[in-house]
Amino acid sequence: MPAISRVDTSFLARWWRNVDRVTLSCVCILIGFGYVLMLAASPAVATRIGASRDMFILKQVVFLTLAGLIVVATSLLSPRGIRRLALAGFVLATAATALTLVHGIEIKGARRWIALPMMSVQPSEFLKPCFAVVTAWLLTERRYRRLLPGMPIALGLFAVILLLLKSQPDIGMLSVITTVFMAQLFIDGLNIFFVGAGAGCMVAAFLGAYVAFPHVRSRVERFLHPNVGDHYQIDTALRAFGNGGLMGRGPGEGRVKDLLPDAHADFVFAVAGEEFGMLVCLFIISVFCLIVVRTLLKLLREDDPFIVVATVGLITGFGLQAFVNMGSTLHLIPTKGMTLPFISYGGSSAMSVALTIGMVLALTRHRMGESRIPRGRSSFAARKATA
């Protein structure tokens, strides 16, 4: 990490001293793995579909470069700037998600993407971080504006998202956003009775999805009954981990990328296991865990309820996405097409995850010259004292 003199009072110098450099370093490590694993996995996939061997590599270089810039640019914002960005992003992402129902690209029976020149965009990816921040603002601002119906508005926005994602359908994305929302309600101080009721509703919704959507039922039944149905992808992925062993077969020596259609995306973790071994996979897992745990520990010293609730929602979505991808690949949960943050191929995923981490870094950044609210004193009281 470059050293910056403490006498340097420029904006970037203050940002560098106050940003969480450990989390920023972890993001750089994950982006580095994204480059390496794309070099390993994508040429075989591109050749199999008749495209140029370098097509996915070149695109992912652009995606990850933009993702790195988004992380840095977003982390420069103030909490007020994050709120404004999230509100604008939420409006645009919601409108674009609704547009997919009319003009979206249908893939495997689902309309989740909008075609753009040179790429397709999944707008619902951007709902996750923007909804988390907007919800946090609504839930916490009602402490200062008694007439603001923050909870009803947040529930209304969630209902809109539920209807849109159910119509696509995208049950996996809906599950992640629901979990984020429930975590935020719990952190905000929702009565434990209502938390239990919400958990019960989630179980009921899952059972409803199991009955209503054949692809959900198929994935659950294949997970519960390994001897029934087609398990080609999971069996191939698990065999890749076995072939890799402790140290891996070596870069470029894996075979799973020649067999799995999504080896560069949903099953990139299996490529890492076969070519680089269990130790590298454990290291990747530890990097994700470090980002999540370190962020939550930093919140223990935070007194602004908006920052706490927003950051909990953002980091919950980030950690859950990583868990779902790796858990699906390892057959710990039913398969779900969800990318591994900063590592799997995908422009929408890379941009939305970069926005998420940039918001986390911005909200947890220590701001020199700003008074800290003493423990035990509410943010509302502090505002009145300084008014």
Q: What is the pLDDT of residue 366?
A: 73
Mean pLDDT along residues 58-65: 92
The pLDDT tens digits for 327-346 are 989 988 887 778 999 999 98
**Residue 317 pLDDT exceeds 70:** yes
- What is the reported pTM? 0.86
Structural domain total, the chain: 1
Q: Is residue 8 part of a domain?
A: no
Lowest average pLDDT, out of 51-55, 167-171, 226-230, 311-315, goes to: 226-230
Report the amino acid identity of residue 14: R
Q: Is residue 379 part of a domain?
A: no
Q: Are 288 and 147 in contact (CB under 8 A)?
A: no
Q: Is residue 54 part of a domain?
A: yes
Task: Quote the percentage of the chain above a pLDDT of 70.
Answer: 86
Q: Are 160 and 119 in contact (CB under 8 A)?
A: no
Helices within 330-387 (DSSP H only): 347-364, 379-386
The pLDDT tens digits for 142-171 are 777 777 888 899 999 999 999 999 888 888
Please give the structure tokens belonging to residue 205.
């919704």
Please tell me whether residue 112 adopts helix, strand or coil conformation. Answer: strand
Cβ atoms within 10 Å, residue 174:
21
Mean pLDDT along residues 49-67: 89
Q: Is residue 384 part of a domain?
A: no
Q: Is residue 198 part of a domain?
A: yes
Q: Which domain holds residue 300?
A: 19-365
Helices within the chain (DSSP H only): 11-18, 21-48, 55-75, 79-103, 124-141, 150-167, 171-187, 192-212, 214-224, 232-244, 268-299, 305-329, 347-364, 379-386
**Residue 202 pLDDT exceeds 80:** no
Q: Is residue 14 part of a domain?
A: no
Cβ atoms within 10 Å, residue 383:
11
Q: Are 115 and 340 in contact (CB under 8 A)?
A: no
Please give the structure tokens belonging to residue 316.
């919950």
- From residue 313, how far is each of 14, 114, 273, 375 by CA, in Å? 27, 26, 30, 22
Please give the structure tokens belonging to residue 274.
């076969």
Q: Is residue 124 part of a domain?
A: yes
Q: Closest by alpha carbon to 299, among 319, 320, 315, 318?
A: 315
**Residue 376 pLDDT exceeds 60:** no
Please give the structure tokens belonging to residue 78.
């103030």
**Residue 378 pLDDT exceeds 50:** no
Q: Is residue 242 part of a domain?
A: yes
CA distance 183 to 95: 25
